[in-house]
Amino acid sequence: MSKSGDKMERLQKIIANSGYTSRRKAEELIQAGKVKVNGQIVREMGIKVSLKDIIDVDGYIIKNEEKEYYLLNKPRGIITSTQDELGRKTVTDLIATTKRIYPVGRLDYDTTGVLLLTNDGELTNLLTHPKNEIEKTYIAKVKGLVGKKQVGLLEKGVVVDGVKTSKAKVRVKKYDKKTDTSLVELMIHEGKNHQVKKMFEAIGYTVLKLRRDQFCFLRVDDLKSGDYRKLSPKEIKKLYFEATKNDN
Ligand code: URA
């Protein structure tokens, strides 16, 4: 569809990499006849195009936008989404940009801590794909005493929504006798919905508070709740490296 010299990629990949939507959703849009290339509806899957072509997805023109990468210390009481049907504040409202950025993965409304936001769809796909096993560290405050037995269960994997979770690294940091609560650190590489809360639920514990302490190598120790900063080029490069190091 395009002249030589431009980077040719599959149509659904270019749409996904633009950050407009996921690759799967892009395929659905193509099949539904919602995508035009240079003014013509394309339903054929996998045709190769470049950003020199005019790609129109349901009225939105895909552009080769400059990529932006933000690290946010997510506060409690904000949803991890780009919009909310109830009009509640979302994490993207906290960041001053004109770009269509979105969060990389999800944190619950009441979860705080490390959250990456970007308009780089390629990096998002790499960081969220389970095969790339990006490690996340959570600190959970749970009701009750978490002992060796429970740590062993969590480490080996528990059944969540009918599927056994992968091996985790778990450490009890503190037990407060007065409040009967334990502070537990969990390192996991999966990212299912409400994963940490459900892992504790599976062994009969309730999570009272949850914070993501680390995502890959990124931490927010230098950021106040609600504050953010741009990632450095070195950090972006390292994220690509970490997300592709298991390839081959
Ligand atoms: N696990 C949860 O239960 N909630 C989160 O927000 C993140 C991981």
* Candidate of 72, 79, 104, 107 to mutate for ligand 1, largest count of ligand atoms within 8 Å of Cβ: 107
Tens of pLDDT along the chain (248 residues) come to 544 446 889 999 899 888 788 888 999 999 999 999 999 999 988 899 998 899 999 999 988 778 999 999 999 999 998 888 888 889 999 999 998 899 999 999 999 999 999 999 889 989 999 999 999 999 999 999 999 999 999 999 999 999 999 999 999 999 999 999 999 999 999 988 999 999 999 999 999 999 999 999 999 999 999 999 999 999 999 999 999 988 76
Closest approach atom of ligand 1 to CA 191: 8
pTM of the model: 0.85
The residues that are catalytic are: 108
Name 17's Cβ contacts closer than 8 Å, sequence gap at least 6: 9, 120, 121, 122, 125
Closest approach atom of ligand 1 to CA 198: 3
Question: Measured in angstroms, how far is the CA atom of residue 62 from the centroid of ligand 1?
Answer: 32
Here the tokens at position 247 are 């390839």
Is the four-CA dihedral 227, 230, 232, 235 of positive or negative sign?
positive
